[in-house]
Amino acid sequence: MRLSSKTLEVSGGIRVADTTDDYKNSVRRFLKSNSVIETLLGNIEIGKEIGQGGNALVFNAVWGSGEVAVKVLAEDSTKKSSRYLRFITEVREIIKLSQTRAVVPIYHVGEITIEESTFPYMVMKKYPCTLNEWKKHNDLSELNELTNVIEQLIYCIEVIHQNNIVHRDIKPQNILVDENNDIVVSDFGISWFDPNHYERLVKTEKKDRLANFGFSAPEQFQLNPDPKPTMDLFALV
């Protein structure tokens, strides 16, 4: 069944609930039975799910003659929640940094509609693996390999900070590696964009989780800490 990226007809009466897990399951079921999204730039053929975060699902896909990754936010955009506004900010601002080779290039953005709920998605470059997976097949005890990884990570974070952004979620799963062992940073869903340089679409709420337990600086677990570049540097240690 071919589907428009603006309005997708539901077959089988898929019910959309209002929690993140329910949204994720609704998107999974829907894209499993309706795997082609039509866009003005050609059809996107959705493949298997390859990852997920707290608020989003990532699918392997084919667009034109090449593979891409499609990230779908598991949040009804009609509600204009903070998670939705963070997603829009991520697309709008990070797409400008694609030429820096420090972040994942974003090619396209759209929406899919399931009954009365609308879910935004972005189409990104597909990378073979995360840094976590790459480490399993490469020896970081070799000084040259380790130095190369560290230098690239420092470059990526330097570019992000020079553009007045604090990532706040640096971890191996959000660092992607291509066929040439070049590294980029992904997932700016909880990043801070300096309001002196970016239009603020969303204000951080006390209930927002803006840290990961394995790599975040201690101050990120406080209520609404002031974002600082040192938060990202802590994750590298």
Query: Which SS3 state, helix, strand or coil, does residue 128 take?
Result: coil
Name the burial class of residue 61, with classes exposed (0-12), middle (13-18) and buried (19+) by CB atoms within 10 angstroms of its CB. buried
- Reply yes or no on whether the pLDDT at 67 is more than 60: yes
Assess contact for 76 and 189: CB atoms under 8 A: no
Tokens of 102: 């420090």
CA distance 122 to 128: 18
Domain ranges of the chain: 2-125, 129-236
Is-catalytic flag, 182?
A: no
pLDDT of residue 175: 96
Token pair of 79 as six digits? 């509600």
For domain 129-236, the CATH class is mainly alpha
Residue in this structure with the two tokens 């797409």, named with its chain if needed: 95
Percent of the chain at pLDDT > 90 equals 62
Residue ranges of the annotated binding site are: 71
Query: Cα-flanking dihedrals φ and ψ of residue 62, to 5°?
Result: -120, 130
Please tell me the distance from the alpha carbon of residue 91 to that of residue 176, in angstroms, as a whole number: 17
Which one from 76, 169, 187, 232 is the annotated catalytic residue?
Answer: 169
Structure tokens at 136: 């399993």
Helical segments of 75-130, H only: 82-94
For 139-187, the pLDDT digits (tens) are 777 778 889 999 999 999 999 999 999 999 999 999 999 999 999 999 9
Which amino acid is located at 237 in the chain? V
Q: Which residue has the higher pLDDT, 4 or 90?
A: 90
Lowest mean pLDDT among 63-77, 136-150, 182-196: 136-150
CATH of domain 2-125: 3.30.200.20
Per the listing, tokens 């971890």 go with: 171
